[in-house]
C-alpha cells in the first residue's frame, strides 16, 4: 500500500533549491516510485512549488511536470494535506516563513543558515520544540562520497589519534564584467545575507563536529578581496560582504583529545588541487585527503622519509605515494540521501540528528568568526540550548 506526503517547497527558483532539492531530490524520489519503507510500502512525494515570481514558478512547474504551484505561501500552509515545509529562500526572509510554517503545524526542513542571527536561530528551535513539529537542517556535505569514505576511516580507527585537519575550499568567481559570475550577486552584499563566513562556516561547523569533534573556539580573518563586482544585469555594485574567510578552529574529539582544524574558504583563489574542496587529515597512525568524491590514504607503515634539500630539484612524486579508498558502496546524490532520511524521520522510521539546534551552532560559529575577525582575537564557544 502506498501513502503520499505533501511537501511545500519555497525557494525553488534559486540555483540550489531548483537543482539539488527539487530536481535531484524530490522529483528523483517521485520518479523512482517514492521511498520504500521498512514494511515494503512506498511513501510518494507530492510537492507544491511556492515562489514570488508567478511566471518563473509556473514555468518550472510545467517543465518538471509538477501539477501544483502558487505564489501564496499562506494558502499553501493552510492545506492540511501538505505536512512538510521546505525553505531554500534567501536567508533574509527565511526565519519569518519558517515561523509561519511552525505556527501552521508543519514539519520543517530547511537550507542554512536557518536565520540571519544566532538569536533568530534559537527562536526557531524553541518555537519548533514548543509546537512539537519535527525539524531538520540540510547537512549535505556529510553525504558526499569523499566524506563518507573519510567517516569510514575514522570509525575503523585508521588514523589512531587525530592531530589536525586542513581544509581548502573555493575557486575564482568572476567579477561579472568581462566574464559572467558563477554565483549570484547577493552573495557579495552583506545587507542581502551574503558573505563567505556566513555561508561556509555553517558548513564547516557540522563537518567538524560530526567527523572530528566539538568546536570549542575560533580565530578567523575575513576579507573582501574584490571590492567591486557586476550583477546579473551588468550593473556595477560595491561588494560589502567578505569573499574569503581564513579560520583556525579548536576542537575536542569524542575521546577528549585536542584537534586543530584550519580551513581556508575563498571565492578569489584559482584551483590547484584535485577537487574544489579537500580535507587533509593527519593522525598518529595514518593520513588521508578527502574531497567531494575521492579519498586517498597513507598509512604509518608506508610513510616515506622526505629529506629537505633546497639545493636539489625534487624528484619524488608525493601524490603517487598515496592509495585510493575504494567506494565499497553505491553513493546516491547527497541531497537526495538526506531528504530520504528526513522523510523517514517524519513518518517515524528513523532519526534525523541535524535539527534546528545543529543549525544554530553553525550560525553561532559564523558569528564568532566574524567577531574574531573584527576584534582580532580568539573567540571561545560555550554551550548552546534552545
Alpha helices in 275-355 (DSSP H): 334-346
**Pair (82, 155) in one structural domain:** no
Question: What distance in Å separates the CA atoms of residue 116 and residue 167, rounded to the nearest whole number?
Answer: 25
Q: Could you identify the residue written with the cell 528523483?
A: 28
Pick the closest to residue 100 from 129, 69, 78 (CA basis).
78
User: Residue 136's beta-bridge partner residues?
Assistant: 109
Query: How many separate domains does the chain show?
Result: 2
Q: What is the pLDDT tens value at each position of the chain, 386 positions in all?
A: 679 999 999 999 998 999 999 999 999 999 999 999 999 999 999 999 999 999 999 999 999 999 999 999 999 999 999 999 999 999 999 999 999 999 999 999 999 999 999 999 999 999 999 999 999 999 999 999 999 999 999 999 999 999 999 999 999 999 999 999 999 999 999 999 999 999 999 999 999 999 999 999 999 999 999 999 999 999 999 999 999 999 999 999 999 999 999 999 999 999 999 999 999 999 999 999 999 999 999 999 999 999 899 999 989 899 999 999 999 999 999 999 999 999 999 999 999 999 999 999 999 999 999 999 999 999 999 888 87
For residue 385, what pLDDT is reported? 83
**Pair (153, 78) in one structural domain:** no
Question: What distance in Å separates the CA atoms of residue 281 and residue 284, rounded to the nearest whole number?
Answer: 10
**Pair (308, 348) in one structural domain:** no
pTM of the model: 0.95
Does residue 46 come out as left (phi exceeding 0), alpha (psi in the -120 to 50 range) or beta? beta
Question: What distance in Å separates the CA atoms of residue 146 and residue 290, rounded to the nearest whole number?
Answer: 5
CATH code: domain of residue 56: 3.40.50.720
Assess if residue 381 is contained within a domain.
Answer: no
For residue 255, what pLDDT is reported? 95
**Pair (149, 251) in one structural domain:** yes
pLDDT per residue as tens digits for the range 366-383: 999 999 999 999 999 988
CATH code: domain of residue 191: 3.30.360.10
Pick the closest to residue 263 from 196, 317, 327 (CA basis).
196
What the block records as the C-alpha cell of 194 is: 551574503
**Pair (183, 314) in one structural domain:** yes
Which SS3 state, helix, strand or coil, does residue 82 take? strand
Assess if residue 212 is contained within a domain.
Answer: yes
Assess if residue 109 is contained within a domain.
Answer: yes
> Pairing mode, if any, of strands 162-170 and 258-266?
parallel
**Burial grade of 72 (CB within 10 A; 0-12, 13-18, 19 or more):** exposed
What the block records as the C-alpha cell of 381 is: 564557544
Contact of 250 with 217, CB cutoff 8 Å: yes
For residue 386, what pLDDT is reported? 75
Assess if residue 359 is contained within a domain.
Answer: no
**Pair (174, 318) in one structural domain:** yes
Count other C-beta atoms under 10 Å from residue 207's C-beta.
23
**Pair (119, 268) in one structural domain:** no
Count other C-beta atoms under 10 Å from residue 133's C-beta.
20
Assess if residue 358 is contained within a domain.
Answer: no
Domain residue limits at 235: 141-331+364-375
Which SS3 state, helix, strand or coil, does residue 257 take? coil
Assess if residue 33 is contained within a domain.
Answer: yes
Assess if residue 92 is contained within a domain.
Answer: yes
Pick the closest to residue 187 from 295, 267, 106, 96 (CA basis).
267
Question: What distance in Å separates the CA atoms of residue 343 and residue 336, rounded to the nearest whole number?
Answer: 10
**Pair (82, 25) in one structural domain:** yes
Assess if residue 383 is contained within a domain.
Answer: no
User: Residue 221's beta-bridge partner residues?
Assistant: 246
What string of DSSP letters covers 47-76? EEEE-S-HHHHHHHHHHHT---EES-HHHH
**Pair (259, 200) in one structural domain:** yes
Pick the closest to residue 84 from 346, 384, 365 (CA basis).
346
For residue 226, what pLDDT is reported? 98
**Pair (129, 148) in one structural domain:** no
Which SS3 state, helix, strand or coil, does residue 99 take? helix
Strand order in the sheet with 162-170: 323-324, 295-299, 286-290, 277-283, 162-170, 258-266, 244-252, 214-223, 379-380
Q: 108 Cβ partners below 8 Å, 6+ apart?
A: 84, 85, 86, 87, 98, 101, 102, 128, 133, 134, 135, 136, 356
**Pair (174, 295) in one structural domain:** yes
For residue 1, what pLDDT is reported? 63
**Pair (157, 79) in one structural domain:** no
What is the average pLDDT value for the chain, to the nearest integer?
96
Amino acid at each position: 500500500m502506498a501513502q503520499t506526503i505533501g511537501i511545500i517547497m519555497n525557494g525553488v527558483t534559486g540555483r540550489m533549491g531548483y537543482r539539488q532539492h527539487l530536481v535531484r531530490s524530490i522529483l528523483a524520489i517521485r520518479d523512482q516510485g517514492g521511498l520504500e519503507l521498512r514494511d515494503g510500502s512506498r511513501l510518494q512525494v507530492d510537492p507544491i512549488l511556492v515562489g514570488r515570481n508567478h511566471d518563473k514558478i509556473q514555468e518550472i512547474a510545467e517543465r518538471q511536470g509538477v501539477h501544483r504551484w502558487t505564489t501564496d505561501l499562506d494558502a499553501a500552509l493552510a492545506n492540511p494535506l501538505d505536512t512538510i515545509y521546505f525553505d531554500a529562500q534567501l536567508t533574509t526572509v527565511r526565519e519569518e516563513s519558517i515561523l509561519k510554517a511552525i505556527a501552521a503545524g508543519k514539519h520543517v526542513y530547511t537550507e542554512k543558515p536557518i536565520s540571519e542571527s544566532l538569536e533568530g536561530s534559537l527562536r526557531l528551535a524553541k518555537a519548533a520544540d514548543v509546537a512539537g513539529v519535527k525539524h531538520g537542517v540540510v547537512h549535505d556535505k556529510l553525504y558526499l562520497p569523499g566524506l563518507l569514505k573519510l567517516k569510514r576511516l575514522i570509525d575503523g580507527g585508521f588514523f589512531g589519534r587525530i592531530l589536525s585537519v586542513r581544509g581548502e575550499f573555493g575557486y575564482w568567481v568572476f567579477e561579472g564584467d568581462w566574464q559572467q559570475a558563477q554565483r549570484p550577486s547577493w552573495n557579495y552584499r552583506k545587507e542581502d545575507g551574503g558573505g563567505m563566513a556566513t555561508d561556509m562556516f555553517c558548513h564547516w561547523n557540522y563537518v567538524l563536529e560530526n567527523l572530528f569533534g566539538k568546536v570549542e573556539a575560533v580565530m578567523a580573518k575575513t576579507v573582501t578581496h574584490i571590492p567591486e563586482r557586476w550583477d546579473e544585469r551588468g550593473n556595477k555594485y560595491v561588494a560589502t560582504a567578505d569573499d574569503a574567510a581564513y579560520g583556525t578552529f579548536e576542537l575536542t574529539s569524542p575521546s577528549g583529545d585536542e584537534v586543530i582544524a584550519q580551513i581556508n574558504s575563498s571565492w578569489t583563489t584559482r584551483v590547484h588541487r584535485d577537487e574544489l574542496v579537500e580535507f587533509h587529515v593527519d593522525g598518529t597512525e595514518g593520513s588521508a585527503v578527502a574531497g567531494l568524491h575521492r579519498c586517498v590514504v597513507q598509512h604509518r607503515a608506508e610513510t616515506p622519509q622526505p629529506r629537505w634539500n633546497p639545493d636539489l630539484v625534487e624528484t619524488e612524486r608525493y601524490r603517487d605515494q598515496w592509495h585510493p579508498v575504494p567506494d565499497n558502496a553505491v553513493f546516491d546524490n547527497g541531497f537526495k540521501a538526506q531528504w530520504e532520511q528526513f522523510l523517514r524521520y517524519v513518518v517515524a522510521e528513523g532519526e534525523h540528528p541535524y535539527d534546528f539546534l545543529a543549525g544554530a551552532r553553525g550560525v553561532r560559529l559564523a558569528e564568532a568568526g566574524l567577531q574574531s575577525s573584527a576584534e582580532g582575537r580568539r573567540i571561545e564557544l560555550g554551550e548552546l540550548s534552545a
